[in-house]
Structure 1
């Protein structure tokens, strides 16, 4: 097929790995790396380290959007590819990881499987809805943005030491279900990640969370 025909069909003309050179996409992949570490530490039961991985995944996710908006000369293909990459990473970071956290802290008791399944289903629906319809007419999200799941659970987990483990597993499950319901609700929430001030607030929160959980290793 000639280049002209490829362009007519809107087929890609760049190698797949060329999109890694795009700085926002690199930032997204760094967040995915943090998510992988979080999953590893969740499975191995090192929850303090897992919380640090989860919140840094959010920080990189917010940073990639801020970088993308400030970059000059970024192509439409880079932007479109980055949007799809973000979507796929989000389901792992904010759907799979929180669900796995609840299962792990409940010692993988089968009674918690429905909770994990609902969180995954509602997370996937939330992301699909946003991918299809975007922001509402007043530039707000319909439903709670799914990154709030990790932000909230990382905060809630700070109180784990005040409860017996089985009881706190139930607390986590209730919180996870509540967040999942908010993800697919009709409430309108602002796009926090689009505001540079909010990014600064998240950066401070990320450092504070890292210091809090990191102190357990000292």
Structure 2
């Protein structure tokens, strides 16, 4: 099985899983800003593996098939499991956090299952909001966290992720990222990761 990880794109996906694991550890250790900072690197890995896969010539079909499945599991972990863990820790395992995290996990599983079976729409757009938006949204929320009272921030964050869960399984159509979008996401992820890490380590 491990031989499939020698493929550059699959190796990057596996690297993203390492970042997700580190982020989960930090979340459970109550270092939430560092957790979100590291999670952004899982997002970057997810974007990079697709670019590398598309540019790898003569890629073995079995390796590509393995990579597609691996990428789906990685998406579930960083796109739904990680935000759910951060939400639970952020609200000190409140009842609303249980509801929010459960809804988010179910929506994430449904969203990814639909995409795995039916793919994009005929015009090349995604049905429902991709899970890759969750961690950047979480990062943006944590960047502005100092502007809000603690209890209000928790309430707003939980509400925001309930909305995101609904968008994941909605009928909206979202365009696939283009080169400019990838550049913007990369710049945001690097900047937000630096801000959150610096704040946490001060």
TM-score (norm 2): 0.95
| Structure 2 counterparts to residues 174-193 of structure 1, below 5 A | 174-192=159-177
Map Cα deviations across residues 141-182 of structure 1 (whole Å, 9 max, x no partner).
000111111111111121222223222111111011010100
List gaps (5 residues or longer) in structure 1.
1-15
1:186 counterpart SS class: coil
Q: CA deviation at 1:90?
A: 1.0
RMSD of aligned Cα (Å): 1.2
Q: Distance in 1 between matches of 2:62 and 2:182?
A: 25
- 1:202 aligned to 2:202? no
Alignment partner of 1:211 is 2:174:
no
Aligned pair partner of 2:45 in 50, 60, 65: 60
Contact persistence 2:4–2:63 (CA under 8 A): yes
Partner of 1:8: none
Matches within 5 A, 1:25-174: 25-174=10-159
Closer/same/farther in 2, CA of residues 111 and 197 from structure 1, 3 Å limit: closer
CA apart distance, 1:132:
0.5
Distance 2:58 2:175 in 1: 28
Q: In the alignment, is the contact (CA less than 8 A) between 2:79 and 2:135 conserved in 1?
A: yes
**Aligned partners of 1:71, 1:81: CA distance in 2, in Å?**
15
Kindly indicate whether the alpha-carbon contact (under 8 Å) linking 2:96 and 2:158 is maintained by their aligned counterparts in 1: no
Any idea what SS the aligned residue of 2:58 has?
A: coil
Gaps of 5+ in 2: none
Aligned length: 201
